[in-house]
Chain A
Amino acid sequence: GESVGLHLPTLSVQEGDNSIINCAYSNSASDYFIWYKQESGKGPQFIIDIRSNMDKRQGQRVTVLLNKTVKHLSLQIAATQPGDSAVYFCAENPYSSNTGKLIFGQGTTLQVKP
């Protein structure tokens, strides 16, 4: 079946370094992708999104890159801070017509070392 997956379960970075979290998706019909951050004991929080007609989108300290050719999504976090420590999920919306259902990847745990 269709799924969204992540390449690495855990990523450990030094404070101040840049982080790159990767995601592979399998549904070529998906046209909307979202990155979520989930801190311990909390629900996912929206970080940034991108539509399939774009290949890059920037937010505050975060950038999402989309490569539709290889069905790959990445989240770049600049100058990683201790507060960035969390689990990061990518999600795709392959049902953009009328339901809002999302398919989530397994998640990558980002650990920021001081």
Chain B
Amino acid sequence: NAGVTQTPKFRILKIGQSMTLQCTQDMNHNYMYWYRQDPGMGLKLIYYSVGAGITDKGEVPNGYNVSRSTTEDFPLRLELAAPSQTSVYFCASSYGVEGGDGYTFGSGTRLTVV
């Protein structure tokens, strides 16, 4: 099992550009999440999905969009990148609703907007 795979690992964007952060999991988890982590801070939830075709906003959704057309994939789209979106982005998946050892994180995408 590869677990949760995120691509790319690093990216530099110019203000106003767009990009898609890819996330794929091979564990057949229904639940998937996107978090962002700013320097010296904890993770904040951007969007989540409880199953294919179902997505919902988290704590900080502005400037982002997601889709969940398959169980495996949960891409995060940034439209009109802004410096405030400079962060490390983590995708996670879970087989249940509680978290804990069933919650698997990807290795992250470090995004810089200049």
A interface vs B, CB < 8 Å?
A: 4, 9, 32, 34, 41-46, 49, 89, 91, 93, 95-107
Note all chain B residues with C-beta closer than 8 A to A104. Answer: 35, 42-44
Q: Can you report 18 A-B residue pairs in the complex whose CB atoms are below 8 A from each other?
A: A4-B42, A32-B98, A34-B99, A46-B101, A46-B103, A49-B98, A49-B99, A49-B101, A89-B43, A91-B42, A93-B99, A98-B97, A99-B31, A100-B96, A100-B98, A101-B48, A102-B99, A106-B41
Chain A residue nearest to B103 in the complex (CB): A46
State in angstroms the CA–CA spacing of A97 and B31 once bound together.
13
A42 to B45, alpha carbons, bound, how many Å? 17
Measured between beta carbons, the chain A residues less than 8 angstroms from B99 are 32, 34, 49, 91, 93, 100, 102
Q: Which residues of A contact B107 (CB under 8 A)?
A: 41-43
Whether B98 pairs with A93 at a CB distance below 8 angstroms is yes
Which residues of chain A have C-beta atoms less than 8 A from B33's C-beta? 100-101
Task: Tell me which of A46, A98, A103 contacts B100 (CB under 8 A).
Answer: A46
> Hey, which chain B residues are within 8 Å of A41, CB to CB?
107-108
What range describes how many residues of B lie at the interface?
A: 20 to 34
CB contact between A100 and one of B41, B42, B43, B94 (< 8 Å): that residue: B94
Known contacts A105-B42, A106-B40, A106-B41; is A45 also within 8 Å of B97 by CB?
no
A95 CB, nearest partner CB in chain B, Å? 8
Residue of B nearest to A9 (CB): B40
Residues of B within 8 A of A32 (CB): 98-100
Interface of A is mostly: loop
CA distance A44 to B56 in the complex (A): 22
Distance between B82 CB and nearest chain A CB, rounded to angstroms: 23
Contacts of B61 in A (CB 8 A): none
**A-chain residues with CB within 8 Å of residue B41 when the two chains form the complex:** 106-107
Q: Is B75 an interface residue when CB atoms closer than 8 A count as contact?
A: no
Known: A9-B40, A32-B98, A49-B100. A102 touches B108 (CB 8 A): no
Residues of B within 8 Å of A95, CB to CB, are 97
Whether a CB of chain A sits under 8 angstroms from the CB of B76 is: no
